[in-house]
Structure 1
Amino acid sequence: MHSNVHLPSDFLALVEETMPSHLSMDDFIAACQRPLRRSIRVNTLKVSIDEFLVIAQEKCWDLSPIPWCKEGFWIEREDESVPLGNTAEHLSGLFYIQEASSMLPVTALLDGHPPLELVLDMAAAPGSKTTQIAAAMNNQGALIANEYAASRVKVLSANVQRCGIHNTTLTNFDARVFGGWLPETFDTILLDAPCSGEGTVRKDADAMSNWDLASIHDIAMTQYDLIESAFHALKPGGTLVYSTCTLNHQENQQVCMHLKNTFADAVEFLPLGHLFTDADKALTPEGFLHVYPQIFDSEGFFVAKIKKLFSTTPPEVNKRLGKFPFKPAESKIIQQLIHELKASLGLDIPTSSQVWLRDNEVWLFPSAMVHLIGELRFSRIGIKLAEALKPSNKKNAPLYRWQHEAVMALGQSNQANNVQLTLEEAREWFMGRDVRPNLPAGKGEVMVCYSGAVIGLGKWVGNRIKNGLPRELVRDKNLF
């Protein structure tokens, strides 16, 4: 229980002042003091929902559907001796640990929208919504995931790679730049804005230790700037989802009304009462979803969907971009790559990707964002496919060394030349150790799999497979 959760008196007064009359303050406080239900989202880039339900049943996991996300489930486990994040299914990217309310913004983003071609996630780390969008896009089109804090980009990148995503580009900017730098560029935009986090007290009893009314005002001023930037970066006819994990009106309704007051008839609020069964219980008069924790037994959350009806005049900016260090691969090299990738691992280069080179590195860029090269500085684009090896005199010597992130994104566990590991071997693998499967020795690089998923890339050395797991992914204790 979180009976010691910190709820400042000024905060409770603010909630009581704005909470709809049909909701109870006693229920609100009681909900804040209950532990948060654990929830996960199935990563359909790796496994179907039906396949995952079979896996969960075999592991005695009790899953309850989340009404607003068909891939989302509340989860209860009989045996919790191993952290959920250290299970094989999580390490191999079959699911993402994500709070249920956090799945709402992407559901709103996707509702009624044609296939997404170019999407911006303005505040992306650690990656729950980025990976949810990419899975919905089925790795097609292009998704730019921006994160302001440089220290969090690494975590974002790791989650994108673990989930097998190759259509995503990472950037590291104050998101206020997008409106001027890339005006009217994106089909749809998610602004899950930095906020005071009032809705997260069920997860963190000390979440509001530094809360005060003055800080709410300062945060709201930043949110005003961010939502204006998002609106400028949105194409006419495109949609913007604004969301927070906080509860006060200053950071929610008032931010949306600021946008309406600024751009008048160019702004249309799209009502969300139809989004799922009982969504009307959280519906505001404007058509937004204002989720208090007692309504759905979840975190508190706010979601608004906004349509841009016509063009606006973006701010004028001067931008300086450094030299772009990549160049497109020539057709001869592309054909060479296609042949060797197929021959060695049985994989294909996605038709939605382009091959680009930097020194000896080979990268796959999402074709749908290549036109933005020269318009924006990128931290990372797509996935690193391979490193070119030095020429060798040996007959049939490999020309490329394939990369872990490439097989995680492109590999399928049912390919003929894969090696299926036992539970004990898979545990050794995730601990960074070589494995000796009970199989005839093979040659060259090979994908290793466990429990229906590709978990890495190794290389046959005699009768053992040399571990190719990147050092930062090694787990040394309390594994499945």
Structure 2
Amino acid sequence: MQLPELFEEKMKKLLGTEYEDFLAGYEKERHQALRVNPAKISAEEFLRISPFTLEPVPWAKNGFYYGTEDRPGRHPWHEAGVYYIQEPSAMSVAELAGVQPGDRVLDLCAAPGGKSTQLAAAMEGKGLLVSNEIHPARAKILSSNIERMGILNAVVTNEAPERLAPHFPAFFDRIVVDAPCSGEGMFRKEEQAVSQWSQDNVDLCAKRQQDILEEAAKMLRPGGVLVYSTCTFAPEEDEESIVRFLLKHPEFSVKKTEAYEGFAPGRPEWVKLTDEEKESVSVERLEAVLASVKDTFRLWPHKLNGEGHYAAVLEKADGNQGEELSTLRIEKTERKNRKNGKSSGKSGVVSAEAEAWKLYREFAADTLVHGHEGIPMLYGEQLYLLPCELNLEGLRVLRPGLHLGTVKKNRFEPAHALALALKAEDVKRSVSYGSDSREIRAWLSGESLEGSDGRGWTLVQTDGFSLGWGKQAGGILKNHYPKGLRKQ
């Protein structure tokens, strides 16, 4: 691999005698991994039935390296959300966040969705996950991956951090900032990262990262945890970004976290500050902040089986929590109105949302054994189930919770997302075909199948994993697999 000359010179100065080992890492075979979705299957059970050659990723609870001959992206289980294909080093970030069920979590720079889906797995469907991505096209990919993994409690937004922050003041328990960066750690994986590299871009990314951290700080509650990460080696974007942020924010500190085997400590000696920055705090404070950088993490490709990453776990001091923590409080009166099918306007007037909910309930009575808890909200013709009462006014929202379906001329058509969030025991009608069967190949390409004598919406599965909806009628199982997902 031909690396940028200036990059090589810079890394040689930083690493000294270690540089040759670092350079040799580019000749190593790149490792690929997947992460099992515990909402679909346990890691133990997946290991038992998996057709792939798997070895555990040491720092990821449900992560596994797969063999070079394996093609998990082509297997029907991928479309069923049984696992997520993810770069192994990237799996470290969500693990370091220490998310618990019931937490309020923000993934601020979330596309394509690896870290969001990993955070969601730790939440076990409880609490609130806000997955945000500033770029519209990437936000759509993020939203589709949230759908594929059958996540119930996620809201997907397409916003700049400075527009998101006023909606969530001091609200989140955990925030992940996987910051846009120069991508030096991805040189083995992405040739484009090599061709686009420049020191000017490194400096630009470092400035942008400070802006993002400033907004993230506003949204973290006192006592909360913020995980900052990049996929670059540049100290300007790694240790320096953390030091500059900490010098401005004495309420934050590096949280000492146990390192996994192969994780290297941060390098405070690589931090370069201006005289003005050094003089902005006491000598003792500066020394303490620099020393704390050793408790951040560098993941080097020549020291572990993964690409280059940097991660820092920061904790916000527990201060006065008497302030208003959230604009997202669940108002009991409003929830009661929604459940009773009343509009929030004139008393006794049934809203379009209530009519949509009525149609959904009719569908549910015919099709579902078990549904999901939440608050119904109608966006145009689309009915969603919010995990809690949310004030989303003024925000660009791609997915306000679980997509239940579409209201069409006094009938309800269930969403693909709903199918992926259900299991066979949740529905009254389901069929399952082997992942290597002719039926599944035909189904994924959009063909209808031979049905039974029954009628109505039917959950179609492969090896017991939900793939989508079919509709039984006249001995035919009509295919409702989304056209945009069909295999050619």
Normalised by the shorter chain, which TM-score bucket? 0.7 to 0.9
Counterpart of 2:422? Answer: 410
* Cα displacement (A) at 1:127: 0.6
Return the match for 1:356 from 374, 377, 381.
377
Return the match for 1:14 from 7, 10, 14.
10
Structure 1, residues 345-382: CA drift from partner, whole Å, max 9, x if none? 3343323x111234543211111xx2433474423201
* Cα displacement (A) at 1:13: 2.2
Work out the CA distance in 2 between the residues paired with 1:158 and 1:335: 24
Counterpart of 1:262? Answer: 248
Counterpart of 1:452? Answer: 464
Work out the CA distance in 2 between the residues paired with 1:402 and 1:181: 30
User: What is the SS of the residue equivalent to 1:294?
Assistant: coil
What runs of 5+ residues in structure 2 fail to find an aligned partner? 268-292, 321-333, 342-353
Work out the CA distance in 1 between the residues paired with 2:204 and 2:357: 55
* Cα displacement (A) at 1:124: 0.7
Work out the CA distance in 2 between the residues paired with 1:53 and 1:240: 32
Structure 1, residues 428-455: CA drift from partner, whole Å, max 9, x if none? 1111111125xx3221110011122011
Counterpart amino acid of residue 142 in structure 1: L
TM-score (norm 1): 0.84
Count, aligned residues: 434
Contact 2:265/2:294 (<8 A) preserved = no
Work out the CA distance in 2 between the residues paired with 1:470 and 1:435: 15
Counterpart amino acid of residue 386 in structure 1: G
Return the match for 2:67 from 62, 66, 76.
76
Work out the CA distance in 2 between the residues paired with 1:17 and 1:176: 37
Work out the CA distance in 1 between the residues paired with 2:189 and 2:424: 35
Counterpart amino acid of residue 439 in structure 2: E
Q: Does 1:153 align with 2:153?
A: no
Provide the aligned C-alpha RMSD in A.
2.5
Counterpart of 1:40? Answer: 34
User: What is the SS of the residue equivalent to 2:294?
Assistant: coil
Return the match for 2:300 from 282, 289, 292.
292
* Cα displacement (A) at 1:137: 0.7
Contact 2:262/2:304 (<8 A) preserved = no
Counterpart of 2:95? Answer: 107
Work out the CA distance in 2 between the residues paired with 1:245 and 1:359: 39
* Cα displacement (A) at 1:210: 2.1
Counterpart amino acid of residue 65 in structure 2: W
Q: Does 1:331 align with 2:325?
A: no
Return closer, same or farther for 1:413/1:246 CA change in 2, 3 Å cut-off: farther
Counterpart amino acid of residue 383 in structure 2: V
Counterpart of 2:239? Answer: 253
Return the match for 1:205 from 191, 199, 209.
191
Contact 2:120/2:129 (<8 A) preserved = yes
Work out the CA distance in 2 between the residues paired with 1:47 and 1:68: 20
Return closer, same or farther for 1:405/1:181 CA change in 2, 3 Å cut-off: closer
Contact 2:101/2:125 (<8 A) preserved = no
User: What is the SS of the residue equivalent to 2:206?
Assistant: helix
Counterpart amino acid of residue 270 in structure 1: K
Matches within 5 A, 1:50-129: 50-56=44-50, 59=51, 61-76=52-67, 78=69, 80=70, 83-110=71-98, 114-129=100-115
Structure 1, residues 286-322: CA drift from partner, whole Å, max 9, x if none? 300111111103100000000111569xxxxxxxxxx
* Cα displacement (A) at 1:171: 1.1
Structure 1, residues 188-240: CA drift from partner, whole Å, max 9, x if none? 11000000000011212342112111211111010111111111111111110
What runs of 5+ residues in structure 1 fail to find an aligned partner? 313-325, 392-398
- Between 1:146-155 and 1:377-386, the stretch displaced more is 377-386
User: What is the SS of the residue equivalent to 2:195?
Assistant: coil
- Between 1:127-136 and 1:171-180, the stretch displaced more is 171-180
* Cα displacement (A) at 1:415: 5.4
User: What is the SS of the residue equivalent to 1:303?
Assistant: strand
* Cα displacement (A) at 1:27: 1.6
Return closer, same or farther for 1:235/1:347 CA change in 2, 3 Å cut-off: same
Contact 2:206/2:241 (<8 A) preserved = yes
Counterpart of 1:432? Answer: 446
Contact 2:22/2:302 (<8 A) preserved = yes
Counterpart of 1:238? Answer: 224
